[in-house]
Every structure is written in structure tokens, then in C-alpha cells.
Amino acid sequence: MENVFKNHKVRNNINSAIRYILLTLVGFLMLYPILWLVGASFKTNAEIFTSIGFIPKSFDFTAYIKGWETGTEFTFATYFANTFKIVIPKVLFTAVSCTLTAYAFARFEFPAKKLLFGILISTLFLPAVVTRIPLYLLWKQFGFLDSYVPLVANTVFAQEPFFVFMLVQFLRSIPRDFDEAATIDGCNSLQILTKILLPILRPAIVNVCLFQFIWSMNDFLGPLIYISSVEKYPVAIALKMAMDASAGVTPWNQIIAMSLIGLLPSIILFFAASKQFVDGMSAGGIKG
């Protein structure tokens, strides 16, 4: 009996070791592009195109220095600041407006509720390219071109149906007994949301903020359409401008270096909120 137990334990250890090795290899393959970018930022152009390894021959920070200077009258700090002028309001307005909208659909009864919710969800199937020209003409009539208003305004009115739908599903999984108990204690609708439901919704709201932050940081087409002044460009447009402005040989090491710096906020935020992100994706609120 003792030998059987030992053999079973040995098999479990071997299986665990094999799983960890496979997961390590898969993780390395998934992280290799990032590792290659880090190494390429220290390479010369010639080394980038002649070596597939991610370890450079020498660590030269010239690409970071020249890339940060950008070769224009503005440094990369200006473009970073412009990016956060877009991203931070979008994240905040999205979290507030989508939470309020989802709360209304999940907890209140009003005329044509199902119809309105169906219309909201149906916009998920509407390609964004269809609305580009009408929205451009609208903001042109309002005189808001070459400003950040067209990039942020839609988030004020919860025009993010995916986030609204996700929050509605979370709210529907929370028992209404919490609302009734809070009502008996004298809470109004807003207090029920802020004091009872928001702490439970925190993983879902973190997911909303995380997705919106990453999508907004990576947005290229929106700023390209509405922003025309160089001093208002975000990081995504500045990187493209650096590629277009180069005469002759494109300084890929500088562009890669600035791309890595542009990725850092999203990577840092993701790992800082990884626990909440996993909880939000797996839990789905409290099951009644």
C-alpha cells in the first residue's frame, strides 16, 4: 500500500513538472515579441534586420534619448501628456455613465425598457466606420474639430454598449435582497448604488476601466480624424509622424523605444489590476 502511495505521488510530481515546463515554454513564446522589442530598442537598424535574437550586442540608450527628443519642437512628454488628456477623461466618464445606465436597466422598470435595451445592444453590431462621416460632419458643425471633445464626448453618454451590457449582467446576478434591505434602512436609489452595489461591482468596473484605458491608448484612427495640430497629437500619431518625417533610413530603434515607453502605462496598469481583472472575468458578481 505504501509503495502504491509513493508511486502515485511520484506520478503527480512528474505531471506537475511537465505542466509547469509546458506553461513556461508557452509563456515565453507569448512574451517573446515584447522581449524582442526591448532588445531591439538597444540595437542599431542594421542589427535589428540581421538578428532574430532579442539580446543586443551592447546596451546603447541613444535610441531612447533621440526618440524622446523626437526631432521636432516638442518632446515625447508633450505627446504623452496629450494622450492622458484623452485617456483619463474617457476612463472616468465611461465608468460613471456606463454604471448609471446599467443600474437603470438592471434595477428599474420604465416604459419601453426592453425595446431601448435591445436598441442599445444592437449598436454592438454597427460597424464604427459607418458612423465616421456623420460624426465628423456633426462635430464640424459644432466647431469642435482639432479638439479632444469628439474623442471624449461619447463616453459621457454611455455610448459604450459592450461595457453597459457587461455591467448589466453583473447587476442581474446580484440578489435584489440587498436593495430591499438597504431600502428598509432608509437608503434611496443613489445610496443603494454607491453604498451597496458599487463595492460588489468593483471587479467589473475595474475591467471597464482597464479595457477603456488600453483601447484609448492604442486609438490611432480617432485622433487622426479629429486632431490636426501637432502640439495636440497623442502618442499613436506621434509614432506615425516619426516614421513619416524620417528622411532616407527610418530610425526603427527610436520608434521601437518610444513604442515601448508608450506600452508601459498599459502594462503597469494591467499587472496592478490583475487580481481585480481575474475576479471580474471569472466571478460575474454574486450568485443568488
The percent of residues in the chain predicted with pLDDT above 70, rounded, is 91
Note the helical H segments in the chain.
Answer: 2-40, 45-50, 62-69, 76-107, 113-122, 128-142, 149-156, 161-172, 177-184, 189-191, 198-217, 221-226, 235-245, 252-272, 274-283
Domain ranges across the chain: 1-31, 65-283
Q: pLDDT confidence of 277, banded at 50, 70, 90?
A: low
65-283 maps to which CATH number? Answer: 1.10.3720.10
Write out pLDDT tens, residues 155-193. 999 888 999 999 998 898 888 888 888 888 888 888 999
CA dihedral for 222, 225, 231, 232, sign (positive or negative)? negative
96: number of Cβ within 10 Å: 14
Tell me what pLDDT residue 285 has. Answer: 41
What pLDDT, in 10s, does the model give residues 123-133? 888 888 888 89
pTM comes to 0.84
